[in-house]
Structure 1
Amino acid sequence: MFWGRGGWAVAACIAAAAVTWSGPSFAASLRSALATAYENNPDLNAARAQMRAINEGVPQARANGRPSITLDGDFGYTTTRTPGNIFDPGSDWSTATNPRGATLSVEQPIFLGFRTKNAVRVAEMSVKAAREQLKVVEQNILLDTVRAFMGVIRAQVVVNLTAQNVEFLREQVKAAEDRLSVGEGTRTDVAQTNARLSEGMSDYAQAVADLNQAIAVYVQIVGIRPDRLGDVNGIDKHLPRTLEAGLEVALTTHPSIISSLYNIDVASWNVRVREGALLPSVTLSGSVSHRDASGDTAWRDTASVTGRLVMPLYQGGSIAAEVRELKETLGQRRIELDVTRAEVRQILISSWGTLDAARAQVRAAAAQVAAEQLVLSGVIEERRVGQRTTLDVLNAQQDLLDARVAQVRAQHDRVVAAYSLLAAVGRLNASVLGLPVEIYDPTDHYYQVKDKWLGLRTPDGR
């Protein structure tokens, strides 16, 4: 079982309690959990596969300007019977032929109203926009990993705190019963301690359920079950020093904003592609054929070269309507860029405030825990001399437990807030974090396929 007794400490949460573990000696740090999720998370791998599919749009666009070659062949059998003189049955005669032939045709676009060139630009801009979206997915997965990792830590610490609380309450029940047996206590004291013990056991059961849920989320995101969690490495060195510096970086380099800029380019080139349908097109085609019509020595070879010019004059206004539609889409993409910038600004400012608040809560929680520990020790001593009741001790213990749980949550919130701020800046990625992984480079696949003329296999051999 993941929760149990043994010893471990987490830098971000050790002040809350002495946390105990059992199981293998392997300890997964937050850094290693992030590395595992970077390599194994199915959502991230699916996004990479989608990126590779989008890369194939470039050779598809280039194909519109390349020649097309077809080979057409046919083979037939024809029989003909002609009656002769009716008075001479032997005068009937018949013929049989097997007409056959083959034609090789080549068609080469010469000019298509710049549509091929502009379609390639659309595909290239789509690839660049998709790369930035892949960075956004990577950020989201890594941030989810941080939340899952810290969620398991928080849940495990709460389990241990509630377990310690149950042990303390059991001691209080025994002490109350002992005092009752020697005439120094009352049945009310015993009832109160038993009631608190039942409540503590209920809290422990809920804490275990929360831990199991946190583990399930961790497995879903990281891909493996945590055996033992270790250090939480700080990322303060990667965070902006000031809010203004963070805004300057985010509004310049955040992948969501860069993706929106590329989407504007995509929309702009789409307008030009459709406008090209109003321009003339020129194609050159040639064919070579061999024909055997009679099945004997009669045959015929034919070769031809044809140039074709098509000048569109009027299409009922459909092309013009499509161009106007694409121009409106271009305007929409420009507005979406402003929306994205506003969202990035809002999230960054919110994340900055959340981190400041979390740091203050950590300091306040530490002071509260220290004070509640002194209170509990003092109340226990005062009860021994008759100045406090058992209920006072139980209340002091509950206050200390609540303070420790609040401290654990504050530590959890501080770590998550720090990584959330890094994501808001747009720099939560494997390279910045220095994860021990091979960094996925989407350009490798792009350069492998962008100029391919043929081949059904993907670069990895599928």
Structure 2
Amino acid sequence: MPSLRKSLFTAVLVSATMLSPLAASAETISGALAKAYQYNSSLNSARAGVRVTDEGVAIAKSGYRPVVTGSADIDYSSSHLNGTNSSVRLTTGNFGVQIDQTLFDGFQTRNNVAAAEAQVRASVESLRNTEEGILFSAAQAYMNVIRDRQVAVLTEQNLQFLTETARAARSRFEVGEGTRTDVAQADASRAAAVGVASNEHPAILATQHLVDAAAFSVKSAEGALLPQLSASAGVSSAYRNTSPLPGVGSQDGTTNSASVGATLTIPIYSGGRTSAIVRQNKESLSQARIQVDVSRDQVRQAVTAAWTEYTAAQQQLTANRQVIEAAKLALNGVIEERNVGQRTTLDVLNAQATVITAQINQAGYEHDVVVASYAILQATGRLSVDRLGLQVAKYKPEEHYNAVKDKWYGLRTPDGR
């Protein structure tokens, strides 16, 4: 199956950035896409969402680690004995440290960690899908501006023609044979593009990772039906001080103690709650599997639509070139006939209006070709910073993930917050 080559992306950028002299000083499409990638608020929000998901791995791994708690208390009481002048004052205090460690939880922690890791992979693919959507929207908006500028220039030329009937300067993209977008290769087909999308599109990959996460969640829920074993150890100190009563012995002093133990819990019946959770997670797994098929259908539809729009735009572009040439020939003929008195100025203006209309249509068709080519790249999952060669620092979600996945403690985020 033919693959999309780098020349495809070069051709897309060339065809989109060969602007008219009036727009030559404007920002290039690569610069616009780089700014969208760096500053778009929706994209930055999606990146923050991935960082939130990353912490789920550290949370799941906490099930492997001990839980250490400290405790302390102090009490003071005073009692008066009726019929005497004596009173009793009692001060007691306790403090200690307890360590609890789960030894076996029915493989729940292991499956929770695997599910969290799958969630991270899914979120990364979802981020990539969001990036492609933002880049396509930016490219589309950029091309809309360029098209509208060309229409404005052509309209201005039409107004100038009221006094300059001999001038027919035009402003257009100049999308010629050498710069026409070549989607895939010369022999590329819609079926090949669909195959690429099925294997590489981040929307499909994200749903596949969610299937993995759902499968591990089922195993984790089933683990609650298995015996649970935990161990504990602790040290404590108790202090007691009593004002002595006459003739009564005192038990004051400090008592130090240590303990160690293990607890085995065997689930027997939980009111049906655990079973219901297992069934619920199995249904979620089934839904996740169906969602993979939904994503494939959506991607296939997007590729087909983009390819159809691209093919139609190319055909319209080619046909409209002939319309322009014919309109120009007709305009020249009308001008010659007017010069010899066989046509009026109104006839010339009507012929010029036909040329301008065809040129405006050409600007629209050229816009459609470029936008459709970007749509194909997005639909096949290949509209990325790397493939477009944008001059911008690439966001790497794995850096945050690696920084937090094994952290045992610390309240600060990797960026210092």
Q: Same fold by TM (over 0.5)?
A: yes
Does residue 388 in structure 1 map to residue 388 in structure 2?
A: no
Mapped partners of 1:417, 1:361: distance in 2: 13
For residue 169 of structure 1, give the secondary structure of its aligned residue in structure 2.
coil
Does residue 247 in structure 1 map to residue 194 in structure 2?
A: yes
Alpha carbons of structure 1 residues 366 and 252: separation in structure 2 relative to 1, 3 Å: same
Alpha carbons of structure 1 residues 438 and 356: separation in structure 2 relative to 1, 3 Å: same
Does residue 408 in structure 1 map to residue 355 in structure 2?
A: no
Alignment equivalent of 1:136, drawn from 122, 129, 132: 129
For residue 48 of structure 2, give the secondary structure of its aligned residue in structure 1.
helix
For residue 456 of structure 1, give the secondary structure of its aligned residue in structure 2.
coil
Alpha carbons of structure 1 residues 235 and 268: separation in structure 2 relative to 1, 3 Å: farther
Alpha carbons of structure 1 residues 441 and 319: separation in structure 2 relative to 1, 3 Å: same
Alpha carbons of structure 1 residues 263 and 436: separation in structure 2 relative to 1, 3 Å: same
Q: How far apart are residue 380 of structure 1 and its match? A: 2.4
Does residue 68 in structure 1 map to residue 67 in structure 2?
A: yes
Q: Match of 1:20, as an amino acid?
A: L
Does residue 108 in structure 1 map to residue 101 in structure 2?
A: yes
Mapped partners of 1:14, 1:151: distance in 2: 13
Mapped partners of 1:434, 1:129: distance in 2: 25
Q: Which residue of 2 aligns with 1:263?
A: 210
Q: Deviations over 1:129-180 (max 9, x none)?
A: 11111110010011011101111111111111112222223668xxxxxxxx
Q: How far apart are residue 19 of structure 1 and its match? A: 5.2
Alignment equivalent of 2:229, drawn from 249, 266, 282: 282
Q: How far apart are residue 81 of structure 1 and its match? A: 2.2
Would you say the 8 A contact 1:287–1:303 is kept in 2? yes
Would you say the 8 A contact 2:235–2:259 is kept in 1? yes
For residue 413 of structure 2, give the secondary structure of its aligned residue in structure 1.
coil
* 1:40-189 correspondence runs (5 A): 40-85=39-84, 92-169=85-162
Q: Which residue of 1 aligns with 2:375?
A: 420
Q: Deviations over 1:84-103 (max 9, x none)?
A: 35xxxxxx122333322212
Alpha carbons of structure 1 residues 146 and 411: separation in structure 2 relative to 1, 3 Å: same
* 1:255-334 correspondence runs (5 A): 255-294=202-241, 298-334=253-289
Once the two structures are overlaid, the 10-residue window that deviates more, 291-300 or 345-354, is: 291-300
For residue 260 of structure 1, give the secondary structure of its aligned residue in structure 2.
helix
Mapped partners of 2:201, 2:180: distance in 1: 18
Q: Match of 2:89, as an amino acid?
A: A
Q: How far apart are residue 342 of structure 1 and its match? A: 1.7
Alpha carbons of structure 1 residues 59 and 18: separation in structure 2 relative to 1, 3 Å: closer
For residue 46 of structure 1, give the secondary structure of its aligned residue in structure 2.
helix
Does residue 442 in structure 1 map to residue 397 in structure 2?
A: yes
Would you say the 8 A contact 1:59–1:449 is kept in 2? yes
Q: How far apart are residue 334 of structure 1 and its match? A: 1.4
* 1:3-22 correspondence runs (5 A): 12=15, 20=22
Alpha carbons of structure 1 residues 130 and 234: separation in structure 2 relative to 1, 3 Å: farther
Would you say the 8 A contact 1:239–1:422 is kept in 2? no
For residue 270 of structure 2, give the secondary structure of its aligned residue in structure 1.
coil
Q: Match of 2:193, as an amino acid?
A: G
Q: Match of 1:132, as an amino acid?
A: E
For residue 327 of structure 1, give the secondary structure of its aligned residue in structure 2.
helix
Mapped partners of 1:235, 1:76: distance in 2: 86
For residue 253 of structure 2, give the secondary structure of its aligned residue in structure 1.
coil
Alpha carbons of structure 1 residues 280 and 18: separation in structure 2 relative to 1, 3 Å: closer
Alpha carbons of structure 1 residues 395 and 128: separation in structure 2 relative to 1, 3 Å: same
Does residue 344 in structure 1 map to residue 337 in structure 2?
A: no
Alpha carbons of structure 1 residues 328 and 350: separation in structure 2 relative to 1, 3 Å: same
Alpha carbons of structure 1 residues 132 and 118: separation in structure 2 relative to 1, 3 Å: same
Q: How many residues align?
A: 387
For residue 286 of structure 1, give the secondary structure of its aligned residue in structure 2.
strand
Q: How far apart are residue 363 of structure 1 and its match? A: 1.5
Does residue 397 in structure 1 map to residue 399 in structure 2?
A: no
Q: Which runs of 5+ in 2 are unaligned?
A: 1-12, 166-172, 244-251
Mapped partners of 1:426, 1:370: distance in 2: 38
Report the TM-score, using the length of structure 1 for normalisation: 0.78
Mapped partners of 1:272, 1:354: distance in 2: 46
Would you say the 8 A contact 1:12–1:412 is kept in 2? no
Mapped partners of 2:293, 2:67: distance in 1: 44
Give me the CA root mean square deviation: 2.6
Q: Match of 2:103, as an amino acid?
A: I
Alpha carbons of structure 1 residues 295 and 388: separation in structure 2 relative to 1, 3 Å: farther
Q: How far apart are residue 384 of structure 1 and its match? A: 2.9
Q: How far apart are residue 235 of structure 1 and its match? A: 8.8
For residue 238 of structure 2, give the secondary structure of its aligned residue in structure 1.
strand
Would you say the 8 A contact 1:67–1:109 is kept in 2? yes
Mapped partners of 1:367, 1:359: distance in 2: 13
Q: Match of 2:91, as an amino acid?
A: N
Once the two structures are overlaid, the 10-residue window that deviates more, 145-154 or 327-336, is: 327-336
Once the two structures are overlaid, the 10-residue window that deviates more, 333-342 or 105-114, is: 333-342
Report the TM-score, using the length of structure 2 for normalisation: 0.86
Mapped partners of 2:353, 2:20: distance in 1: 18
Would you say the 8 A contact 1:249–1:425 is kept in 2? yes
